[in-house]
Amino acid sequence: MSSSARPEPADAPAKRTGRRPGTPDTRGEILDAARQLLAERSPSGVTVRAVAARAGVDPALVHHYFGTKRSLFTAALELPFDPRMIVRSILDGPVAERGERMTRTFFGVWEDPSGREPFLALLRSALSAGSGAGLLAGFIQQVMLPLAEHEAGLDGRRVELAVSHLVGIAVLRYLIAVEPLASTPVEELVAAVAPSVQRYLAP
């Protein structure tokens, strides 16, 4: 494991800032550094500065490639969609139907194999040895919560309680496939679960 304040590589040419300039691989190296740090520490400890230090680049280069820290996290998580689109689709529309939209969106992602795989991997890695804990925690704390709090003024605790219900359903239905939940039609589940989720998402 390299130290978090990696010095100038020995074979690099002399440079003004003492850090490597951007190369075709720099973007990928920044993503790798972000994933490493997310697996090692709590999300709040994964700063742009820390990611830049781990990747051996200037923090400005991280901003150049990814804009915000949130975008960097989203890219590092390799989700097959933009979580901002998801959150926006839940927040837009009548407040009274937020729970149903979030529940439908959740099942839409999980019932689609291309959506299910990255989330199953996220869940498995998070829950195995704790080494992936930062990835799932990062997704929730750095991507979902800021969007829900800043764009809808929702309480972080309540958003996480709504998320927890859906994470638990993912565990029982998709990961360990416990019956009768695993074979219950989606429409029945949406009808049963949406009101519970709505309780947390209403102001």
Between CA 143 and CA 136 the distance in angstroms is 10
What's the gap between Cα 27 and its chain centre?
A: 18
Distance between CA 31 and CA 33 in Å, rounded? 5
38 binds its own copies (CB under 8 A): no
Is 164 one of the binding residues for its own copies (CB under 8 A)? yes
Residues 119, 24: Cα–Cα separation, whole Å: 28
Phi, psi of 20 (to 5 degrees): -70, 145
Stretch that binds its own copies, among 2-10, 57-65, 66-74, 157-165 (CB under 8 A): 157-165
**Cβ neighbours of residue 3 under 8 Å, at least 6 residues apart?**
none
Please identify, using beta-carbon distances, which residue of 56 and 132 lies nearer to its own copies. 132
Site for its own copies in 93-122 (CB under 8 A): none
Phi, psi angles (nearest 5°) of residue 163 = -60, -40
Is residue 45 at the binding interface for its own copies, with CB under 8 A as the rule? no
Q: Which is nearer to its own copies, 8 or 161 (CB)?
A: 161
Q: Are the CB atoms for 98 and 196 separated by under 8 Å?
A: no
Asked whether position 172 contacts its own copies by CB under 8 A, the answer is yes
Any residues with CB less than 8 A from the CB of 153 and at least 6 apart, and which? Answer: 203
End-to-end CA distance of the chain: 45
Residue closer to its own copies (CB basis): 37 or 55: 37
Nearer of residues 26 and 198 to its own copies, judged by Cβ: 198
CB of 179 to its own copies, least distance (A): 7
Beta carbon of residue 109, minimum distance to its own copies (angstroms, whole number): 16
CB of 116 to its own copies, least distance (A): 14
**Which residues contact its own copies by CB under 8 A?**
42, 44, 123-124, 126-130, 133-134, 136-137, 140-141, 156-158, 160-161, 163-169, 171-173, 175-181, 184, 188-189, 192-193, 195-196, 199-200
